[in-house]
Structure 1
């Protein structure tokens, strides 16, 4: 009898690596290259090294997550950002067939792949509060630039096919990342507490509204892992989840997985300082920041409970349990 047990994470990584090996064939510049897995989350991201020393990033998409048209819209926005702003982003590279999105079939399932330019830099260190403060001021500035571009080019960007990150798709009846109720370590008391939070968020967002100054095309996943610090510069990567949502949701996503840290109020103040260098933010909007943070936190509980990767394994049940105090404080603060 074999003692080997099935490991879904290992199985998935092997499959995505196989697909990546087939995807590089679409690019003559990668005819002699090696691939190395960098990250496996919603997608699998690989570093591609050529024999001549060039580096590229290859993304193998999770099947049935985004359509080819949706990915093409993401890549078009990247090109527009690069053309019309000073924000540093990783740019898509066209394949030999003239397409930016390549389709690779594996076990009768299509996977969409894209190749990007490589950017130097390292993710911010969540343990280094001093550096995080200055980095969040820069991030606030960059985020405001993205939002300004989104507002000024609203009509053009609205033609893009991207997900709507509203209450329904985050915490409601059609959650893109799964139901928070199915998260790890759920008890009757915790379900009751989080349900009160979810309902409060729903009420407040309905009052907050979706005016053009508050809601538009956003990155929607500006967590630390999607930022690259290179000296005094911050570069933005992984626009895979960009979509239409509240601009303040971008702030909440930058605090992903660290919402419970004691330095969060300081980071928020630094972000606001940077943001207001570019565009205004009313006191009413600032007061609603906790709503977006808790919405994101519940969304991440759903994500941790429904995914199998190194991040979710590391976070485990503790991530849900550490949310209790955040939830109680939110309800106390937001009593209306």
Structure 2
């Protein structure tokens, strides 16, 4: 759930190179650059979160790159290479995604020592030009009283069409036998050891709330067990596709940050887009634009869409688990309480049969 921008929802902090926390990462990044044949490139820290991200500028070629030090033990080397394979398949389908760069020896990831006992895999992509859509929308809101329905609807409509195009690619694509990626399935989202951590054990919850989340989890599990994993709505998904992970350049959209990509339900993908923008002005218009554009590219039934509100709640629970297992990642003041209260209220509505329908 790391983000590439630094909006309040992105859980990312910008730091200068003088910051003590950045020094070991900068040293490791320079080691990695030498492995990629770019030892003389200039480095600029973009953000420290789960992963540590730098921009590297090669004055000799004029090319800029994104250098990412991947969080230890989050993905295996095989899983990282599988992410790259899906990116190649998406690019072949005409979708703008990051372009990986190989080292002279053909490797796409190189291990570097960071500190005692910590080694990270480092990958390199071409720097994608453009601006983050979510940041543009936020800047527009600040420059006016509020974005109107038209301003909100346009990026959400574009996002809906793009997500549907990605779902079309994923459902028609057969990964190679060596492909390995996590599953955001029944166990991955709601099992005893969810992918992003046991959310019901979050320290911000009291005893009553923990019991409420466990009961809601069991309710969601039962509903998804009945629903199953139909091929029309279960495939590879981005799993973090919202406006803060969209770039716009010369009128074309690009998708970034595939760190969470895995096998999962399309409704979870849709729920992520809804969840991270539900509090914006004219959200109803944004949702309508998203679904209209999605359905113009890929059909989805009302029955399938009816699960989206439940997946929004599951997204909120996942974020609570993610935060509890990553206390070192800074959050804006008050954001964790906002998530906690929203998830608790959602669980209460779910169990009372009053959860919103998409």
| TM-score interval, normalised by the smaller of the two chains | 0.7 to 0.9
Say whether the 8 Å CA contact 1:185–1:321 is kept in structure 2. no
Aligned equivalents of 2:47 and 2:245: distance in 1?
Answer: 11
Confirm or deny: 8 A CA contact 1:305 1:312 kept in the other structure: no
Q: 2:186 — aligned with what?
A: 167
How far apart in 2 are the matches of 1:11 and 1:245? 38
Query: What pairs up with 1:108-119 in 2 under 5 angstroms?
Result: 108-119=117-128
Please, which moves more after superposition, 113-122 or 301-310?
A: 301-310
Instruction: Tell me: CA distance 1:202–1:234, structure 2 relative to 1, closer, same or farther (3 Å).
Output: same
CA RMSD of aligned residues (A): 2.4
> Which of the residues 82, 94, 97 maps onto 1:86?
94
Question: 1:142 aligned to 153, 162, 165, which one?
Answer: 162
Q: 1:35 aligns with which of 39, 43, 60?
A: 43
CA distance in 1, matches of 2:307, 2:282: 19
Segment of structure 1 superposing worse, 68-77 or 268-277: 268-277
Structure 2 residue matching 1:217: 3-state secondary structure: strand
2:236 — aligned with what? Answer: 217
User: Corresponding residue for 1:5?
Assistant: none
| 1:136 match: secondary structure | helix
Q: Which whole-Å CA distance do the structure 2 matches of 1:333 and 1:231 have between them?
A: 43
CA distance in 2, matches of 1:327, 1:96: 52
TM-score (norm 2): 0.83
Structure 1 residues 281 and 140, CA gap change in structure 2 (3 angstroms) = same
Distance 1:36 1:140 in 2: 33
Q: Residues 289 and 157 from structure 1, CA distance in 2 versus in 1: closer, same or farther, beyond 3 angstroms?
A: farther
TM-score by length of 1: 0.88
Q: Is the 8 A contact 1:46 1:58 kept in 2?
A: yes
Q: Counterpart in 1 of 2:212? A: 193
Whether the aligned pair in 2 keeps the contact of 1:171 and 1:180 (CA below 8 Å) is no
Given the alignment of the two structures, is residue 239 of structure 1 paired with residue 258 of structure 2, yes or no?
A: yes
Aligned-partner Cα distance in 2 for 1:256–1:158 = 34
Q: Which runs of 5+ in 1 are unaligned?
A: 1-8
Match of 2:325 in 1: 306
User: Aligned-pair distance for 1:76?
Assistant: 1.2
Q: Is 1:76 the equivalent of 2:81?
A: no
Which one of the candidate residues 31, 51, 55 is aligned to 1:47? 55
